[in-house]
């Protein structure tokens, strides 16, 4: 059994109010046999931050660490000064060395998508489409997979039919290729799931690479990437 954790960065909306030009989805996959290595790695980093004064009610996320110097309220609670970017690199490096996870990702330059029917489709359709493009080949290869997504994600909300769409794609592809697959999908809260907390750092690092040409984080884990789909990027 393989455990896959999925996270997205940017905004898939095509509305004029959207502030992101790019959108990306990242999957982190490990063999179930080493799940405790992943948990222990992130627990140690989390404990280190707590000792430095990080509030336990504040979820440890890459974007919060990156913006730490601008977050006066959070900085006041810390016992010592923390270099957020260096701590992000430390987490990425530790996970890479301890677990050597598989990374798969898809990035989309939304400005390059001109088809009006796609751009104006009901919210959630575009997300399902690109998530399926990323996940279906991955699941065909893994064959036995437990997928975990953030329950709070509006894109994977039950009303957006994410589960049904993905299972239809996977079962149909498996049927055509005579592959036996097992897919279980879990919607959990990221602050309670260590796998979702870990993939957040890889997803954020990938997005920094694509949207801001800031590759210092991406360079740490780029050798772990097995599938990278670029749509107009």
* Domains of the chain listed by start with CATH number: 2-231 (3.30.420.10)
Spans of the chain, pLDDT less than 70: 153-160
* Structure tokens, 72: 């006066």
Q: Please give the model's pTM, rounded to 2 decimal places.
A: 0.95
Strand ranges inside 110-155, DSSP E: 144-150
- pLDDT at position 65 is 95
| Cβ–Cβ under 8 Å, residues 126 and 118 | yes
Pairing of strands 144-150, 2-10: parallel
- Report how far residue 65's alpha carbon sits from residue 47's, in angstroms, rounded to the nearest whole number: 15
Closest CA to 61 of 172, 175, 196: 196
Is the sign of the CA dihedral 210, 224, 98, 146 positive or negative?
A: positive
- Report how far residue 72's alpha carbon sits from residue 121's, in angstroms, rounded to the nearest whole number: 41
Q: Which residue has the tokens 């959070």?
A: 74
- pLDDT at position 117 is 94
CA distances in angstroms from 16 to 55, 127, 153, listed in the order given: 36, 17, 21
- pLDDT at position 158 is 63
Strand ranges inside the chain, DSSP E: 2-10, 22-31, 102-109, 144-150, 182-188, 225-231
């Amino acid at each position: 059994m393989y455990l896959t954790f999925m996270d997205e960065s940017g905004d898939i909306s095509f509305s004029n109010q959207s502030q992101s030009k790019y959108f990306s989805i990242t999957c982190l996959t490990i063999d179930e046999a080493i799940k405790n290595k992943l948990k222990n790695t992130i627990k140690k980093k989390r404990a280190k931050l707590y000792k430095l004064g990080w509030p336990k009610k504040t979820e440890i996320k890459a974007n919060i660490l990156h913006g730490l110097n601008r977050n006066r309220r959070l900085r006041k609670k810390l016992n010592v000064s923390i270099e957020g970017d260096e701590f992000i690199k430390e987490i990425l490096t530790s996970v890479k060395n301890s677990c050597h996870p598989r990374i798969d990702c898809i990035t989309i330059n939304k400005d390059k998508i001109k088809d009006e029917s796609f751009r104006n489709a009901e919210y959630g359709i575009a997300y399902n489409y690109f998530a399926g493009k990323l996940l279906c080949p991955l699941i065909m290869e893994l064959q036995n997979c437990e997928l975990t997504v953030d329950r709070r994600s509006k894109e994977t909300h039950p009303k957006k039919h994410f589960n049904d769409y993905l299972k239809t794609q996977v079962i149909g592809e498996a049927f055509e290729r005579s592959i036996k697959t097992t897919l279980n999908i879990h919607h959990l809260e990221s602050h309670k799931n260590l796998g979702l907390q870990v993939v957040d750092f890889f997803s954020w690092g990938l997005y920094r690479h694509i949207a801001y040409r800031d590759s210092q984080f991406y360079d740490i884990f780029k050798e772990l990437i097995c599938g990278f789909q670029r749509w107009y990027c």
